[in-house]
Structure 1
Amino acid sequence: MPDALSKTIPIWCAVINRLLFGELHESHDLHTPEEFVGRFEHAQIEARLDGFVDDAESLDLDVPSLRSALGKPLHPSWITPDFSTQHLRSSTDYRQVVCCTASRRVIGTEASESGYIQGAGDDSEGWSHGLTPALYWKHQRQLLEAVEGDMLYMIQRLVIAYKCSDTEYDNAVNIGPTNLYVGTITSAMQPELYDGMVICRDQPPPTPDPGNKHRKRTKTLHLLCGDGKLGSRALRSQLSRILSFFNTLPSKDKPPKLLFACSNGKDLSVGVALTVLCMFFDDDYHFTLQTSNTKIDKTLIRRRLACITTAKPDANPSRSTLQSVHAFLMPREA
């Protein structure tokens, strides 16, 4: 079983329960599958939980809102081809987090993982054929009722329909209490929705329909950085252009509505939005066209990133992207 299922998710369940449901002490215990996590390792992990909770508290999260949204504490259970949790907690008391893997154990093949074969279906990119969680939940009944032989064709049809629909252009997500949005390159195809756009791409995006004379002209900054590590490294030198770009934005009574876009809407665009949140917003997320007087350190960066990931759970800036952000915001420590 992957460590992500046997250890990481149980850790998060325990930390979230302690953070959001402090009075429900019975939900604070760490639960790991005994067949995969030994008692000694379980005890080592459990001893570090209080420190993890302290780290989570330092992010200054909106705990009441998160508690209200979740409603109940979390409890993990596991299903593999060789193992399943025998006794599931009552759903009236907990939200069950089912950790399911298609990987199997072949004793002797990989001693470090007790025979666990990696890559046997745990990465959705290898088997989903483009089906995303949002598409699945939107068409759940249709997919579950489909004949297995028709499943691949149905998924391909749903994915193509989504890519051809207007909803793909409207994939930008609003970041918390701000007027900032993070999305993919296709979000930039609707520039009239924004006062300004920052687009991360190694070449200009498709030009909007020129026939629409009433389309609003939106100030746009193109940061020349493509996908992957090279793009993340290039971001470091491109971030300095943000200062002059913000000086060109119209000064209004309300903060400008800004879009940050990259190819997947999860990496470079998140890094740029994170930089802007640190530079132009105070601790109450009030915007100023002048750089904020708030001291920028690692704690502040973690808090601002938590604000983004709370609004956009699939935000996943790479290590290289975060290193570029740190180097720009804290050059003396880089």
Structure 2
Amino acid sequence: MHQLLPKGTGAMDRNLLTSLPQISKELKRDDRSLRNRVQSILLDNEFLETRVHTAFPDFPLIPNERCGLWYCNPSHFAQTSYFKSTDGHANQWDFSTRRLNFHLLPTLQEAGGVVIVDSTRRGKKIPDALSKTVPLWCAVLNSLMLESVGKKFNVNDVLFVPPETVPESERDQMAKKLPDLVEKLKILNVFDGTKTSRMLDGKLLRPFWVFPGSSLLQSCTDIFTGEQIQNKWEVSRDENIVPIILCTVSYQAQDGIDKRNGFTYVQGAADDHELWSHGLEANIFWSNIDKFKNLSGGDSELYEIVDKMVTQQNNNMQRSAQAGSLDKIMTGIDKVTSLLSLGEIHDNVTLSSEAIADLEKCYSTVIVLSETVHLDKDASQDNEMVKIFRLTSGSKKSSKNLRAMLPDISKTINNAIILQPIKPLLICCNTGKDMSIGVLLAVLCQNYDEVWDLLPEDVKPSVSKIVIRRHLTKLIAHLNGRNVNPSRATLNSINSFLM
């Protein structure tokens, strides 16, 4: 680099010029500091509560994981969704059979619509998850509903995208891909178009987009005073649709520029939180929301506060586990078959003898897939009921290690199934979405037919990728209140083990 500097440039000038990129990098880091991110999330939540919720008060809020969770008060929602932007990227349009989101259908039936909440980082007005992934999901389901009742239709009847965000040329390419995506779901035989059409009273799913400054919200507000001129947005009576409101809570802003609210605004501040949150999770953030709304001091003090919050949360879980409070350490337990249940166990817990005694009242065997769950000294003696395998949901390394551990895990579970216990087996991980789903999927493929009748011990089912996929989609549909999302690496390990 020095050779390109003007002749006569001094040593001090050289040092200054070479340090400029580092200075620029530090300034950008300051602009996206923890404090600025927290303040930006709070501002975006204010937009959601004051502008969006008031326009759609009857529609349940559905945060789109993971980013959307940071913007929604947990007391204001009961479900989440998982629509990934990667399924909407240009030339990668897809309908994910790992992320079916069918659990939203009963909610749409009951409430007549939902508001799905997400955000996006700088450069975009709407994330691909909302501008393309959800519209494709709607289009696939719409197509199968219309097909099931014998109605003729074209792509314009089922596929809707925001024209200011998705170019017409891309929309045309998405339309060409649609028949393949419809066939992809149809072949799995897990979606009943007739039943769903009846559930929704023959109405089609229709996405609408809202974001700061969107025309849909402007129609409810006086452009001069900012006052609400319409209590809520309503579907026209002549439109036979179920609206899905796709809400982007962040507004477009260049990094480090917008300082009008007393801090540097960060668009999509909650995205990829593990890179900036210092251990803070959305649930801890909302449990301490009053503290975050009344911040004082600098970033170093904020880091100290966050460290204390995270430590306190972990200590609370430890105490709950040691006291045997299962409702504090286990959540979302679902019955899958008469012999199999799926659960979620919190991170960083130590199971006491009392906790294991409580588990024994309900389950014959408990399989725990976690690197942060332990047995205390008293509980570890003569324990044959709780089996812990050191795997972490969401970890690519653990997903690969699962392949080597599956023979032992499978043997433990299969031996228990052969005994036909009165009480079911419980399989759990720290999320209830990845490792536990993978293991449960392997057990189903090895021991059950496709309608989940237990096979005789001497019958070995034929397993293929289609069979595995059918079991997975049936499992996802069965767990309609749980946002199931096993990673690709986990599924690869299951495929390798079974075939």
Q: Give the TM-score, by structure 1 length.
A: 0.72
Report the equivalent of 1:171.
Answer: 332
Report the equivalent of 2:451.
Answer: 284
Q: Deviations over 1:205-226 (max 9, x none)?
A: 345996xxxxxx8744432323
Describe how 1:56-67 pairs up with structure 2 within 5 A: 56-61=185-190, 63=192, 66=196
Change (3 A) 1:196 1:58: farther
Letter in 2 for 1:81: P
Q: Deviations over 1:114-156 (max 9, x none)?
A: xxx8634567987983189xx99xxxxxxxxxxx968969xx9
Change (3 A) 1:41 1:124: same
> How far does residue 30 in structure 1 lie from its aligned partner after superposition?
0.3
C-alpha separation in 2, matches of 1:107 and 1:73: 37
> How far does residue 185 in structure 1 lie from its aligned partner after superposition?
2.2
Relative contact order (alpha carbons < 8 A, sep ≥ 6): 1 or 2 greater? 2
Report the equivalent of 2:172.
Answer: 43
C-alpha separation in 2, matches of 1:204 and 1:166: 13
Report the equivalent of 1:20.
Answer: 145
> How far does residue 281 in structure 1 lie from its aligned partner after superposition?
0.9
**Aligned partner (choices 268, 289, 303) of residue 119 of structure 1:** 268
Letter in 2 for 1:275: A
Secondary structure in 2 aligned to 1:77? Answer: strand
Secondary structure in 2 aligned to 1:240? Answer: helix
C-alpha separation in 2, matches of 1:311 and 1:13: 20
Q: Deviations over 1:262-293 (max 9, x none)?
A: 11111111111111111111122111363753
Report the equivalent of 1:269.
Answer: 436
> How far does residue 250 in structure 1 lie from its aligned partner after superposition?
6.0
Change (3 A) 1:275 1:90: farther
C-alpha separation in 1, matches of 2:281 and 2:211: 19
The reply on whether 1:201 has 2:354 as its aligned counterpart is no
> How far does residue 104 in structure 1 lie from its aligned partner after superposition?
2.8
Change (3 A) 1:243 1:4: closer
Describe how 1:4-153 pairs up with structure 2 within 5 A: 4-22=129-147, 23=149, 28-61=157-190, 63=192, 66=196, 72-85=203-216, 89-90=235-236, 93-106=240-253, 119-121=268-270, 129-130=282-283
* Contact 2:185 2:191 (8 Å CA) reproduced: no
Secondary structure in 2 aligned to 1:239? Answer: helix
Report the equivalent of 1:139.
Answer: none
C-alpha separation in 2, matches of 1:81 and 1:253: 57
Change (3 A) 1:230 1:122: closer
> How far does residue 46 in structure 1 lie from its aligned partner after superposition?
1.1
Report the equivalent of 2:345.
Answer: 185
Secondary structure in 2 aligned to 1:305? Answer: helix
* Contact 1:200 1:269 (8 Å CA) reproduced: yes
The reply on whether 1:321 has 2:490 as its aligned counterpart is yes
Q: Deviations over 1:277-313 (max 9, x none)?
A: 1111112211136375332121111111112222334
Report the equivalent of 1:225.
Answer: 391
Letter in 2 for 1:197: V
Change (3 A) 1:108 1:263: closer
Change (3 A) 1:269 1:307: same
C-alpha separation in 1, matches of 2:291 and 2:152: 48
C-alpha separation in 2, matches of 1:208 and 1:84: 62
* Contact 1:224 1:234 (8 Å CA) reproduced: no
C-alpha separation in 2, matches of 1:248 and 1:96: 49
Secondary structure in 1 aligned to 2:484? Answer: coil
Letter in 2 for 1:19: L
Change (3 A) 1:66 1:262: farther
Report the equivalent of 1:144.
Answer: none
Q: Deviations over 1:71-97 (max 9, x none)?
A: 543111101123344797448833221
Letter in 1 for 2:283: G
Sequence identity (%):
28
- Aligned-residue RMSD, C-alpha: 4.1
Deviates more, 1:123-132 or 1:46-55: 123-132
> How far does residue 48 in structure 1 lie from its aligned partner after superposition?
1.4
* Contact 2:138 2:158 (8 Å CA) reproduced: no
Secondary structure in 2 aligned to 1:202? Answer: coil
* Contact 1:202 1:226 (8 Å CA) reproduced: yes
Deviates more, 1:4-13 or 1:262-271: 262-271
* Contact 1:73 1:95 (8 Å CA) reproduced: yes
Secondary structure in 1 aligned to 2:246? Answer: strand
Letter in 1 for 2:408: R
* Contact 1:279 1:292 (8 Å CA) reproduced: no
Give the count of matched residue pairs: 298
C-alpha separation in 2, matches of 1:275 and 1:129: 31
Change (3 A) 1:264 1:5: same
Secondary structure in 2 aligned to 1:192? Answer: helix
* Contact 1:281 1:292 (8 Å CA) reproduced: no
* Contact 2:339 2:420 (8 Å CA) reproduced: no
C-alpha separation in 2, matches of 1:123 and 1:84: 29
* Contact 1:266 1:316 (8 Å CA) reproduced: yes
Letter in 2 for 1:205: H
Structure with larger Rg: 2
* Contact 1:185 1:205 (8 Å CA) reproduced: no
Secondary structure in 1 aligned to 2:416? Answer: coil
* Contact 2:450 2:471 (8 Å CA) reproduced: no
Report the equivalent of 1:260.
Answer: 427
